[in-house]
Amino acid sequence: MATLCRPEVAVPEYIVTREDTLRLAERLHAGKPQLNLALRLITNTGVQKRHIVQPLERTLEHPGFETRNRIYEREAKRRVPPVVRQALAHAELTARDIDAIIFVSCTGFMMPSMTAYLVNSMGFRHDTRQIPMAQLGCAAGAAAISRAHDFCEAHPGANVLIAACEFCSLCYQPTDDDIGSLLSDGLFGDAVGAVVVRGSGGTGIRLERNAAYLIPDTEEWISYAVKNTGFHFQLDKRVPGTMKPLAPVLRQLVARHGWNVGNLDFYIIHAGGPRILNDLCRFLEVPQEAFRYSRATLTEYGNIASVVVLDSLGRMFAENQVSEGAKGLIAGFGPGITAEMAVGSWVTGRGQTRDSARSAAVA
């Protein structure tokens, strides 16, 4: 079965603290009737700091969508390859061992995709499958894990690289001052990440089952308005309540696998915000501590969109407290409203290159 290995995540060097955000909101939106509510919501996110790809004053400028997208491409090409190299090392594989690359991002646009750049610049085989995913938002990290699992099931022994790149700060819109926009200005951060799903061997989560679910008639609850100035994030006030209909879906997935969702050993959950995490804990009947990896990501980096599940997973690896056979759940939520989910067990396996795996199969 496919194994989700240790990820690598990196954040940019420029830091915005919660205090910075509150001061900026007060300065830039002074006198607006929604300001006090926005300040309370930003304070209640639990985000202590975020990382961004440009200095704060430059981020606050809007040089135009074309310039911003050039910055996105430049920074992606600079920052993604190092995490890819480290993710390959964690998986004890080389670029030549990879059969497919899934690239996820919702904060910039490139065509050809970043996958083509990685193939041409990092030594991947030129028959590597390219699977770019651009419109699942925060759900894309979990979706990529599930699609990698599907690929490995369809192609036994194959290995899949997942790379995620989110520069949410490049979507900042100075003129947007509705509550959803002001909250997002204090919630989202920038990050890149990568992880390998091995078709055989490796240490990590053995992926065993996945599923997806879309809440009917909620397409407009999380969305982009695409304008001359770029992507304008739109967030409906009903989004925080979506864990009530989604919790039963998670419960059913785990039950179909013969497990109890309230009695798993680990949970890797997208950290969209504290209410999302608190509500899901309550509906699944698990203690708040169960989501500690996701809470740490939210506190230290903010909502880093598709990279959240990779960072939360990396924190679990770093804690080094998971036992062989431990059972767990991975879940991400995003536009749609979409839930992407997977369940799996912890395995400790020795590294195998493609050649050694094939030799073992022949023997």
User: Sign (positive/negative) of CA torsion 9, 15, 17, 21?
Assistant: negative
138: annotated active-site residue: yes
Q: Which residue matches tokens 């594989």?
A: 93
User: Sign (positive/negative) of CA torsion 170, 171, 172, 174?
Assistant: positive
Q: Choose, from 5, 106, 138, 165, the residue flagged as catalytic.
A: 138
- Nearest CA to 229 out of 308, 146, 171, 157 is that of 171
Amino acid at 274: P
Q: How many CB atoms lie within 10 A of CB 40?
A: 9
Strands (E), the chain: 3-4, 8-10, 14-17, 49-52, 100-104, 129-133, 160-167, 190-198, 204-218, 222-227, 230-235, 266-269, 327-334, 336-347
To the nearest 10°, the Cα dihedral for 91, 92, 96, 101? 10
The one-character DSSP state at 9 is E
244 membership: H or E segment, kind and range:
helix 243-256
To the nearest 10°, the Cα dihedral for 166, 48, 223, 38? -150
CA atoms of 108 and 117, how far apart (whole Å): 15
CA atoms of 166 and 308, how far apart (whole Å): 10
Residue 124: both structure tokens together? 């991947």
CA atoms of 160 and 151, how far apart (whole Å): 8
Q: Is 128 helix (H, G, I), strand (E, B) or coil?
A: coil
CB within 8 Å of 316: residues ≥ 6 apart: 266, 268, 293, 322
What residues are annotated to the active site? Answer: 138
